[in-house]
Structure 1
C-alpha cells in the first residue's frame, strides 16, 4: 500500500529519466512550477508585486524553521559565495581561516581572494583537531560536494569554542535531508536549488543575534528597516534583524522556493533523511557486489565511486543522470528517487 510520503511525492514529481543528480540541482515540484507561472503572470499583467515580496518573507521563515532559529536571524540573498565574501570581509588582516581540503569553491575561495588572510587547509577528518588558539574562523561544508562525506560538526563546534574561533558552515549539500541546527554555529549558509528543490538564485545566511561582527557591505534598499523609505541616498536606518544582510531578491526565485520549502516541511526532514539514506545504502551494497568501493561517507545521501566518472556521458545518454566529479561517479539520492532508480543504475554499471 502506498504511504502518504510516497503519494505526496508522486503528486509532485514525474521525472522523464532516472534523475540521481540532486547534488548538482534538485527537481522542481509541481507546486513550484505553478508558483513560478503565477509569479510571471503577476509581472506580465502589471499587478502589484506585493505577493512576491511576501514570498521572500515566507521562504525566510520556512528556512528558519528548518534551521531551528528565529526568522530575524536569517538573511535572504542570492548565492553562497556572496555570503562567504561578506564573512571574509569581516576578518582582520592576518587572521587564520581553517578549511577542509578540496571543499567547494564558493565557501573557500573568498577567503583566498582577500590576499591578506592566512588560509590553512587540512583533511576533513582532521578539521576539529586542527583548530588552534590563533584560528579566527573555521569554514566547512556540512556535507562535501565532491563525495558526500559529512563533517563532524559537534567536534568542530567544541574545538572552536575551546579556542575562541568562529564557525561558518555551508549546508548546501545537506539542508533538506540532514537535520540542521544553526544555533550550534556562528554563521550558517545554504543555497536553495539543490536538496531544497527551489529555482536557482536564492541563498540564506544565518547570523548570530549580535550579527557576529559582520558589516552590511552589500546593503541596498531592501536592507533598510523600512525598505521603501530607503530607496535614495545612504540608508538612514539599517534593518534591526539579519535582513540588513539581504540582497535585492530574485522575486520569481523566491516565489518558487516558498512552494518548494512547503513541500520539505510537509514531508519532514526526518522522513526524507530515512528515505534518502535507505536508497544510498542500497546503492552501496549493490556496488560491493559489483566489486566497486565508494568513498567512505557513512550516513550520507551522496555516494561517490572512484574511477567511474568517465561513465557519466554514457549513463546520461541512457537516461540516467549522475555527475562526474574529479574522476568519481557521484550519485545523489533524494525524496523523488525509488529503489527502481537505484537498481537501474546498478544494472547499467554491471555491463
Structure 2
C-alpha cells in the first residue's frame, strides 16, 4: 500500500482531537471498530440477539492476528490479557526450572514466573540476553520491543542461543505486533495484548503455541469454549478439547472481539511493510530532531522513541494536547499508522520552546 493510500485509509478511520503519540500505552480505535462494538451493545440492550455475541467474530480476529504474525490460525488461542497467557506457561514448568528474562522487562512477562515460588528466575541486560542463556535455562521470556524505552531485542541471536541450549522461548509481541514484522512460528510461545498497536478494544489478547509446545501446557483454564465447536460442551466435566491451540481459548469478551476483527482487518489492508516503513520513518525523524535539540534518544530502529531523563516534560506536552507517556524515567513517544510528520514536528517545536522545562 502506497503512503498516499495509507493516508486516505487513516483519514477515513481516525479523527483524534489531540496529537496522539501514545500507542505504547493504548492504540486509537478505528471508526469501523467502534461501529461494530456499538452495534453489538445496542443489540444486547434491545434483546434482539440470541446470545451476547458471535464466535464468528472471534474466529475472524484469530485469523486476522495469525496473518499478521505469520502462523496458521490453529496455533492461535484467544484470551483477555497477556498476564493470563503467561500464567498458563508459568504453570507448565517443573519446580526448579530456570527462566531467563531481560532486566527491566514488563511485569506481565516476568511476574507469573517470579511469584510462582518454586522457579529460578534470572535476569540479564537485554543486549547480553543471548550470551546469558546456559544449559540449565528452561525458558527465555522476553519482549520483541521493550515497553520502557522501545529497544528492539536481537531476536535472531536469542532464538539461536535458546535452541543451542535446548531452552524454549516466550516472546511478548505487545509493543511490536501491528508495526514490526514478526514470525511467531519461530518461538515456542508468543503473547500479545490487542489494545496497543493492534488497535483492538481492551479485553483482547492472543497466544501462539507451536504444535509441539501445545502438549506442554496444562488445562488450567479449561472451560466450555475449550472443546472447539461453540455450545457443545456446556455441562459436566470437560470431556474433549479442540485439537489445536483453540483448546486454550478463554471465554471471549464479545464486545471486544466484535471490534477486534475490524481493527485487524484494517491493519491487513494497509500491510506490514508499509506500516513498518511509515512508523519507523517518523521515529527516525523524531530522533534526529531530538539530537539537534540536545536530547539524544535511546538508540534503536523502533517505532517507539524514548528520551532518558526527560520524563518531566510529559505533563506539559499533555497540557499542550500532545499525548505521550513517561515510563521508567523516559519521555516515551510512539508512532503508528495515524501519525504524521506534522505530529513529530509539533513535539519538537514544543520541546524547543521549553514546554514544561524544569
CA contact (8 A) 1:186 1:212 kept: no
Specify the alignment match of 1:26 in structure 2.
27
SS at match of 1:127: helix
Hey, what's the Cα distance between the residues in 1 that align with 2:7 and 2:215?
Answer: 42
Map of 1:196 onto structure 2: 198
Checking the alignment, whether the CA contact within 8 Å between 2:53 and 2:254 is kept in structure 1 is no
CA-atom RMSD in angstroms: 1.3
Alpha-carbon distance between aligned partners in 2 of 1:178 and 1:48, rounded to the nearest angstrom = 39
**TM-score for the superposition, normalised by structure 1:** 0.98
Structure 2: distance between partners of 1:171 and 1:225: 25
* CA-to-aligned-CA distance 1:289-337 (integer Å, 9 cap, x gap): 101111122x100000011101111111110010011221000000000
Counterpart residue number, 2:252 = 249
Matches within 5 A, 1:154-173: 154-173=156-175
Which residue number in structure 2 is paired with residue 326 of structure 1?
328
Contact between 1:199 and 1:257, CA under 8 Å: does it hold in 2? yes
Matches of 2:185 and 2:85, distance apart in 1? 18
> Bigger CA drift: 231-240 or 135-144?
231-240
| Cα distance in structure 2, aligned partners of 1:239 and 1:212 | 12
- Cα deviation code 1:225-267 (max 9, x no counterpart): 3442211121010111111111111000001110100100000
Give me the whole-angstrom Cα distance separating, in 2, the residues matched to 1:169 and 1:42: 38
Aligned length: 350
1:335 maps to 2:337 = yes
Which residues in structure 2 correspond to 1:1-351 (within 5 Å)?
3-46=4-47, 47-49=49-51, 52-210=54-212, 211-297=214-300, 299-351=301-353
Residue 119 of structure 1 aligns to a residue whose secondary structure is strand
Cα pair 1:39 1:52 within 8 Å, conserved: no
Indicate the SS of the match to 1:272: helix
Does the aligned pair in 1 maintain the 2:26–2:195 contact within 8 Å?
A: yes
In structure 1, stretches of 5+ residues that fail to align are none
Secondary structure (helix, strand or coil) at the match of 1:266 reads helix
Deviation string for 1:151-180 (max 9, x for gaps)? 111111111111000000000000000011
C-alpha spacing 1:34/1:225, structure 2 compared with 1 (3 Å): closer
Rate the CA distance shift 1:2–1:70 in 2: closer, same or farther, 3 A.
Answer: closer
User: Secondary structure of the equivalent of 1:137?
Assistant: strand
Describe the SS at the equivalent of 1:326: helix
In 2, are the aligned partners of 1:52 and 1:252 still within 8 Å (CA)? no
| SS state at 2:22 partner | coil
**The residue matched to 2:111 in structure 1 has which SS?**
helix
CA distance, structure 2, for counterparts of residue 213 and residue 328 of structure 1: 38
Q: Distance in 1 between matches of 2:237 and 2:115?
A: 28
CA distance in 2, matches of 1:41, 1:26: 24
Residue 140 of structure 1 contacts residue 168 of structure 1 at CA under 8 Å; is this kept in 2?
yes
Any conservation in 2 of the 1:60–1:76 contact (CA below 8 Å)? Answer: yes
SS at match of 1:108: helix
Q: Greater shift after overlay, 110-119 or 221-230?
A: 221-230
Q: Tell me how far apart the structure 1 counterparts of residues 228 and 10 of structure 2 sit (CA, whole Å).
A: 39
What is the DSSP-based 3-state SS (H/G/I as helix, E as strand, rest coil) of the residue aligned with 2:331? Answer: strand
Whether contact under 8 Å (2:53, 2:255) holds in the other structure is no
Q: How much has 1:51 moved relative to structure 2?
A: 5.7
Query: Does the residue aligned with 1:189 lie in a helix, a strand or coil?
Result: strand
Distance in 1, matches of 2:59 and 2:87, equals 24
Q: Which runs of 4+ in 1 moved over 6 A?
A: none
Distance in 1 of aligned mates of 2:291 and 2:39: 47
